[in-house]
Amino acid sequence: MSRKTQTLPQAKPPRFAARHKRGIETRAAILGAAESVFAEAGLGGARTDAIAARAGVNKALLYYYFKSKNALYYAILEEHLREFRHRILEVLCDDDSPRAKVLGYVSVHFDFIASRPYYARLVQRLAMSGGKLVERLARESRLSLMIEAGSKVNWAALESGVADKIFFYYAPKILGGLQSIPVAGGSGRRSRSDAIRLRNLKVHQITPEEFAVEAWLIKN
Protein backbone atom coordinates (compact mmCIF):
# COMPACT_ATOMS: atom_id res chain seq x y z
CA MET A 1 0.00 0.00 0.00
CA SER A 2 1.47 3.31 -1.05
CA ARG A 3 1.48 6.15 1.41
CA LYS A 4 0.63 9.69 0.42
CA THR A 5 3.33 12.10 1.38
CA GLN A 6 2.33 15.53 2.61
CA THR A 7 4.45 18.38 1.38
CA LEU A 8 4.79 21.11 3.95
CA PRO A 9 5.00 24.69 2.69
CA GLN A 10 8.53 25.93 2.66
CA ALA A 11 9.35 28.93 4.78
CA LYS A 12 10.31 32.00 2.84
CA PRO A 13 14.03 32.75 2.96
CA PRO A 14 14.98 35.49 5.45
CA ARG A 15 16.24 37.62 2.56
CA PHE A 16 12.82 37.51 0.85
CA ALA A 17 11.00 38.33 4.12
CA ALA A 18 13.27 41.33 4.71
CA ARG A 19 12.75 42.58 1.16
CA HIS A 20 8.98 42.16 1.51
CA LYS A 21 9.00 44.14 4.78
CA ARG A 22 11.03 46.93 3.16
CA GLY A 23 8.54 47.04 0.30
CA ILE A 24 5.61 47.50 2.69
CA GLU A 25 7.48 50.21 4.59
CA THR A 26 8.45 52.01 1.38
CA ARG A 27 4.89 51.96 0.05
CA ALA A 28 3.59 53.28 3.38
CA ALA A 29 6.20 56.06 3.36
CA ILE A 30 5.16 57.11 -0.14
CA LEU A 31 1.48 57.13 0.82
CA GLY A 32 2.18 59.17 3.95
CA ALA A 33 4.26 61.73 2.07
CA ALA A 34 1.76 61.95 -0.80
CA GLU A 35 -1.12 62.43 1.62
CA SER A 36 0.42 65.59 3.06
CA VAL A 37 1.49 66.95 -0.34
CA PHE A 38 -1.96 66.35 -1.91
CA ALA A 39 -3.66 67.94 1.09
CA GLU A 40 -1.47 71.02 0.73
CA ALA A 41 -1.44 71.41 -3.06
CA GLY A 42 -4.25 69.28 -4.46
CA LEU A 43 -3.89 66.84 -7.35
CA GLY A 44 -3.05 69.51 -9.91
CA GLY A 45 -0.49 71.33 -7.76
CA ALA A 46 1.26 68.29 -6.28
CA ARG A 47 4.61 67.28 -7.79
CA THR A 48 5.89 63.72 -7.76
CA ASP A 49 9.47 64.85 -7.11
CA ALA A 50 8.26 66.65 -3.95
CA ILE A 51 6.42 63.50 -2.84
CA ALA A 52 9.48 61.32 -3.49
CA ALA A 53 11.75 63.72 -1.61
CA ARG A 54 9.40 63.84 1.39
CA ALA A 55 9.16 60.03 1.39
CA GLY A 56 12.94 59.68 1.15
CA VAL A 57 12.85 57.64 -2.07
CA ASN A 58 13.76 58.29 -5.69
CA LYS A 59 11.04 59.07 -8.22
CA ALA A 60 11.61 55.82 -10.10
CA LEU A 61 10.71 53.87 -6.97
CA LEU A 62 7.56 55.94 -6.57
CA TYR A 63 6.45 54.94 -10.06
CA TYR A 64 7.33 51.32 -9.31
CA TYR A 65 4.61 51.19 -6.63
CA PHE A 66 2.16 53.61 -8.26
CA LYS A 67 1.97 53.86 -12.04
CA SER A 68 0.94 57.52 -12.08
CA LYS A 69 0.23 60.51 -9.87
CA ASN A 70 -3.48 59.92 -10.37
CA ALA A 71 -3.13 56.29 -9.23
CA LEU A 72 -1.33 57.43 -6.09
CA TYR A 73 -3.98 60.04 -5.35
CA TYR A 74 -6.74 57.49 -5.88
CA ALA A 75 -5.04 54.96 -3.54
CA ILE A 76 -4.95 57.54 -0.74
CA LEU A 77 -8.58 58.56 -1.14
CA GLU A 78 -9.73 54.95 -1.46
CA GLU A 79 -8.05 53.95 1.82
CA HIS A 80 -9.51 56.92 3.72
CA LEU A 81 -13.02 56.48 2.37
CA ARG A 82 -13.06 52.72 2.87
CA GLU A 83 -12.03 53.00 6.51
CA PHE A 84 -14.37 55.93 7.22
CA ARG A 85 -17.29 54.07 5.64
CA HIS A 86 -16.56 51.00 7.77
CA ARG A 87 -16.53 52.99 11.02
CA ILE A 88 -19.59 55.08 10.20
CA LEU A 89 -21.80 52.23 9.05
CA GLU A 90 -20.95 50.28 12.21
CA VAL A 91 -22.65 53.06 14.16
CA LEU A 92 -25.55 53.71 11.79
CA CYS A 93 -26.49 50.06 11.26
CA ASP A 94 -26.74 49.45 14.99
CA ASP A 95 -30.11 49.10 16.73
CA ASP A 96 -29.65 52.27 18.79
CA SER A 97 -32.21 55.07 18.90
CA PRO A 98 -32.17 57.70 16.13
CA ARG A 99 -30.73 60.26 18.56
CA ALA A 100 -27.92 57.87 19.57
CA LYS A 101 -27.11 57.27 15.90
CA VAL A 102 -26.78 61.00 15.23
CA LEU A 103 -24.54 61.49 18.27
CA GLY A 104 -22.54 58.38 17.36
CA TYR A 105 -22.03 59.64 13.82
CA VAL A 106 -20.78 63.00 15.06
CA SER A 107 -18.41 61.32 17.53
CA VAL A 108 -16.95 58.92 14.95
CA HIS A 109 -16.64 61.70 12.38
CA PHE A 110 -14.62 64.00 14.64
CA ASP A 111 -12.54 61.13 16.04
CA PHE A 112 -11.64 60.13 12.48
CA ILE A 113 -10.66 63.69 11.56
CA ALA A 114 -8.57 64.01 14.73
CA SER A 115 -6.70 60.79 13.98
CA ARG A 116 -6.21 61.67 10.30
CA PRO A 117 -5.41 65.38 10.04
CA TYR A 118 -5.28 65.44 6.23
CA TYR A 119 -8.60 63.67 5.65
CA ALA A 120 -10.85 66.74 5.77
CA ARG A 121 -8.72 68.72 3.32
CA LEU A 122 -8.40 65.78 0.93
CA VAL A 123 -12.16 65.22 0.82
CA GLN A 124 -12.81 68.97 0.49
CA ARG A 125 -10.45 69.18 -2.48
CA LEU A 126 -12.05 66.07 -3.97
CA ALA A 127 -15.53 67.58 -3.71
CA MET A 128 -14.35 70.85 -5.26
CA SER A 129 -12.51 69.16 -8.12
CA GLY A 130 -15.33 66.84 -9.24
CA GLY A 131 -14.66 65.33 -12.66
CA LYS A 132 -13.81 61.77 -13.62
CA LEU A 133 -12.14 60.83 -10.33
CA VAL A 134 -15.32 61.56 -8.36
CA GLU A 135 -17.37 59.61 -10.91
CA ARG A 136 -14.94 56.68 -10.67
CA LEU A 137 -15.04 56.62 -6.86
CA ALA A 138 -18.83 56.77 -6.96
CA ARG A 139 -19.03 54.05 -9.60
CA GLU A 140 -16.84 51.74 -7.51
CA SER A 141 -18.90 52.49 -4.36
CA ARG A 142 -16.01 54.28 -2.63
CA LEU A 143 -18.20 57.32 -2.16
CA SER A 144 -21.14 55.26 -0.98
CA LEU A 145 -20.49 56.35 2.60
CA MET A 146 -21.45 59.88 1.56
CA ILE A 147 -24.73 58.49 0.26
CA GLU A 148 -25.41 55.61 2.66
CA ALA A 149 -24.19 57.29 5.83
CA GLY A 150 -25.63 60.66 4.90
CA SER A 151 -28.98 59.09 4.10
CA LYS A 152 -29.09 57.23 7.43
CA VAL A 153 -27.96 60.26 9.45
CA ASN A 154 -30.51 62.51 7.77
CA TRP A 155 -33.32 60.12 8.58
CA ALA A 156 -32.13 59.63 12.17
CA ALA A 157 -31.99 63.40 12.65
CA LEU A 158 -35.51 63.83 11.28
CA GLU A 159 -36.87 60.94 13.34
CA SER A 160 -35.30 62.10 16.59
CA GLY A 161 -36.42 65.70 16.17
CA VAL A 162 -32.93 67.14 16.67
CA ALA A 163 -33.02 68.91 13.28
CA ASP A 164 -34.74 72.26 12.77
CA LYS A 165 -33.62 72.88 9.21
CA ILE A 166 -32.65 70.77 6.20
CA PHE A 167 -30.23 71.56 3.39
CA PHE A 168 -29.98 68.70 0.91
CA TYR A 169 -27.49 68.84 -1.96
CA TYR A 170 -28.39 66.92 -5.12
CA ALA A 171 -25.84 65.88 -7.74
CA PRO A 172 -27.54 63.33 -10.03
CA LYS A 173 -24.39 62.36 -11.91
CA ILE A 174 -22.59 61.49 -8.67
CA LEU A 175 -25.45 59.99 -6.71
CA GLY A 176 -26.81 57.82 -9.50
CA GLY A 177 -29.87 59.70 -10.69
CA LEU A 178 -33.15 57.84 -10.33
CA GLN A 179 -31.37 54.70 -9.11
CA SER A 180 -29.65 56.44 -6.19
CA ILE A 181 -30.22 55.87 -2.50
CA PRO A 182 -32.72 58.45 -1.14
CA VAL A 183 -31.32 61.55 0.53
CA ALA A 184 -33.09 60.61 3.77
CA GLY A 185 -33.32 56.84 3.77
CA GLY A 186 -35.58 55.36 6.40
CA SER A 187 -38.80 53.47 6.90
CA GLY A 188 -40.84 56.34 5.46
CA ARG A 189 -44.44 57.30 6.33
CA ARG A 190 -47.58 55.29 5.64
CA SER A 191 -49.81 58.29 5.01
CA ARG A 192 -49.44 61.92 4.00
CA SER A 193 -50.85 63.05 7.33
CA ASP A 194 -47.87 61.44 9.10
CA ALA A 195 -45.30 62.90 6.71
CA ILE A 196 -42.61 65.32 7.84
CA ARG A 197 -43.80 68.79 6.88
CA LEU A 198 -41.62 71.66 5.68
CA ARG A 199 -41.99 75.43 5.44
CA ASN A 200 -40.11 78.22 3.64
CA LEU A 201 -38.80 75.76 1.08
CA LYS A 202 -36.20 77.13 -1.35
CA VAL A 203 -34.38 75.52 -4.26
CA HIS A 204 -30.85 76.79 -4.99
CA GLN A 205 -29.52 76.12 -8.49
CA ILE A 206 -25.77 75.49 -8.24
CA THR A 207 -25.00 74.31 -11.77
CA PRO A 208 -27.35 73.32 -14.63
CA GLU A 209 -27.26 69.74 -13.27
CA GLU A 210 -26.89 70.31 -9.52
CA PHE A 211 -29.11 71.99 -6.95
CA ALA A 212 -29.79 72.20 -3.22
CA VAL A 213 -33.05 72.22 -1.28
CA GLU A 214 -33.36 74.34 1.85
CA ALA A 215 -36.34 74.29 4.23
CA TRP A 216 -37.39 74.54 7.87
CA LEU A 217 -39.13 71.66 9.60
CA ILE A 218 -42.62 72.13 11.02
CA LYS A 219 -42.64 70.44 14.42
CA ASN A 220 -45.76 69.30 16.20
Predicted confidence (pLDDT) per residue in 139-166, tens digit = 655 545 555 555 566 666 666 666 676 7
Domains and CATH numbers, the chain: 19-67 (1.10.10.60), 68-218 (no CATH)
Check whether 79 has a pLDDT greater than 50: yes
Specify the pLDDT at position 181.
47
Query: Which residues share a beta bridge with 198?
Result: 217
Does this model's pTM top 0.85? My answer is no
Strand residues in the chain grouped as ranges (E) = 165-170, 197-207, 210-218
- In a 3-state reduction of DSSP, which class is residue 93? coil
Q: Report the candidate in 104, 112, 30 with the shortest Cα–Cα distance to residue 71.
A: 30
Which pLDDT score, from 0 to 100, does residue 8 have? 54
Give tens-digit pLDDT for 89-116. 888 777 778 778 778 888 888 888 888 8
How high is the pLDDT of residue 56?
A: 94
**Residue 208 exposure: Cα atoms within 13 Å on the Cβ side:** 0
Q: Is the pLDDT of residue 126 over 80?
A: no
